[in-house]
Amino acid sequence: MRVDLSLPGRVEAVYADLGPAERHIADLLLQDPLGLATTTTTELAAGSGSSKATVSRFFRRLGFDSFAEARASVRDLRTSGVPIGSRSGRDGLWARHRAAEERNLRRTAEAVPEELLAAVGAVVADARDVLVLGFRNSYPVALHLREQLVQARPRVQLAPLPGQSLAEELAALGPGDVALTVGFRRRPAAFGEVVRACAGTGADVVLLADPGVRRLRLPVTHRLEVPVDGVGAFDSYAAAHTVVCLLAEAVLERRGAAGRERVLRLAARAEELGELEAR
């Protein structure tokens, strides 16, 4: 089944031919089309003052085999990263958000144990050059990762930059280098090819992504799986940034005296240039 993004369009196309009861259902969907992901036939029937049979008949008129198929199509959008809000209101938002983040962190700790962090930290710390790649939603995480790593070691680059050719950056990779690829859901279609191209250079490839990336079966040296499930319309990257922090810490620890000296040297230069606020 192909995911359909135009539920309001489907409703509007048949709206003039609907009976009074079906129009009540249509009005509810037009007010909150993506809320279908979190409701049931019983709730929709009660909210529109109609029957479950009427609800089922309505969705068949929209071209779905059943209400369940229509709801599944909207849920598929959310799991792929499309922002879908909840109809449950804002009550208890902080409590629900905190619970979701605690679940994400527990799952992350299981998928990314300390031994794995230490192994990746060693690979990154000992590499000749490090290239951090991120696209779309992953770009801010990649940028933050680069900014943390450059505190501990030199020769850390970010791609793609504005006006930059990605092919030129990948051509510079080779054995002894590391490509840190950040690929959370709603990845560009070519993401898998980019990762495969990185692996083809002989560089070690570290993948930081959500568990859904498994279906791509990418040739990586290490994979750090981090859930980004949120309680509202948008994904949450709190756990992802936690992994960035811990990975940078592992790299700094591996670098030892050289890493600590670099941190102090960068701090002194920033103070000399007056780049940061006074302590």
What is the pLDDT averaged over residues 85-102? 72
Same domain, 108 and 225: yes
The answer to the question of residue 88 being in a domain is no
Count of structural domains, the chain: 2
pLDDT band at residue 1, thresholds of 50, 70 and 90? Answer: very low
The CATH number of the domain holding residue 17 is: 1.10.10.10
72 and 160 within one domain: no
pLDDT of amino acid 6: 63
Query: Is residue 249, in this structure, part of any structural domain at all?
Result: yes
* CATH label of the domain that carries residue 223: 3.40.50.10490
In a shared domain, residues 75 and 12? yes
- Find the radius of gyration of the CA atoms of the chain: 24
Same domain? 149 vs 264: yes
Same domain, 49 and 124: no
209-244: pLDDT as tens digits: 999 899 899 999 999 999 998 776 788 999 999 999
Does residue 179 have a pLDDT over 60? Answer: yes
Same domain, 61 and 146: no
Q: What is the pLDDT of residues 244-267, one digit of tens each?
A: 999 999 999 999 999 999 989 998
pLDDT at 24 > cutoff 60: yes
215 and 238 both lie in a single domain: yes
Question: What is the pLDDT at residue 140?
Answer: 97
Do 153 and 268 share a domain, yes or no? yes
Burial class (CB in 10 A: 0-12, 13-18, 19+), 116: middle
Same domain, 74 and 100: no
Together in a domain, 116 and 232: yes
The range of the structural domain enclosing residue 30 comes to 7-79
For residues 37 and 103, membership in a common domain is answered with no
Model confidence at 79: pLDDT above 80: no
Listed residue (75, 9, 81, 10) closest to 37, CA to CA: 75
Same domain for 66 and 98: no
Q: pTM to 2 decimals?
A: 0.74
